[in-house]
Amino acid sequence: MLQINDIHVYYGNIHAIKGISLEINQGEIVTLIGANGAGKSTLLKTISGLLKPKNGDILFEGQSVAGNVAQAIVKKGISQVPEGRRVFSNMSVEENLELGAYIRKDKQGIREDFDKVYQLFPRLHERRKQQAGTMSGGEQQMLAMGRALMARPRLLLLDEPSMGLAPLLVKTIFRIIKEINQSGTTILLVEQNANMALSIADRAYVIETGKIVLSGTSDELNQSEQIQMAYLGGH
Q: How confident is the model at residue 231 (pLDDT cuts 50, 70, 90)?
A: confident
pLDDT attached to residue 235? 43
Q: Is the pLDDT of residue 232 over 80?
A: no
Pairing of strands 63-64, 55-60: antiparallel
Q: Is the pLDDT of residue 87 over 60?
A: yes
pLDDT in tens, 17-27: 999 999 999 99
pLDDT in tens, 152-174: 999 999 999 988 888 888 888 99
Measured between alpha carbons, how far is 154 from 138 in angstroms, rounded to an integer? 24
Decide if 42 contacts 50 (C-beta within 8 A).
no
pLDDT attached to residue 209? 92
Which of residues 88 and 229 earns the better pLDDT score? 88
Measured between alpha carbons, how far is 45 from 41 in angstroms, rounded to an integer? 6
Start and end residues for every CATH 3.40.50.300 domain found in the chain: 1-77+153-168+177-235
Measured between alpha carbons, how far is 17 from 15 in angstroms, rounded to an integer? 6
Measured between alpha carbons, how far is 105 from 118 in angstroms, rounded to an integer? 20
Query: Which of 52-56, 84-88, 113-117, 173-177 has the weakest average pLDDT?
Result: 84-88
pLDDT attached to residue 157? 95
Which of residues 233 and 200 earns the better pLDDT score? 200
Pairing of strands 63-64, 155-159: unpaired
State mean pLDDT over 43-65.
95
Q: What is the mean pLDDT of the chain?
A: 91
pLDDT attached to residue 17? 95
Measured between alpha carbons, how far is 220 from 66 in angstroms, rounded to an integer? 31
Which of residues 35 and 25 earns the better pLDDT score? 25
pTM of the model: 0.91
State mean pLDDT over 13-40.
93
pLDDT in tens, 94-109: 999 999 988 888 999 8
pLDDT in tens, 103-131: 888 999 889 999 999 999 999 999 999 99
Measured between alpha carbons, how far is 171 from 163 in angstroms, rounded to an integer? 12
Q: Is the pLDDT of residue 76 over 90?
A: yes
* CATH among 3.40.50.2300, 3.40.250.10, 3.40.50.300, 3.90.226.10 for 1-77+153-168+177-235: 3.40.50.300
Measured between alpha carbons, how far is 135 from 74 in angstroms, rounded to an integer? 26
Decide if 29 contacts 35 (C-beta within 8 A).
no
Q: Is the pLDDT of residue 234 over 60?
A: no
Q: How confident is the model at residue 233 (pLDDT cuts 50, 70, 90)?
A: low
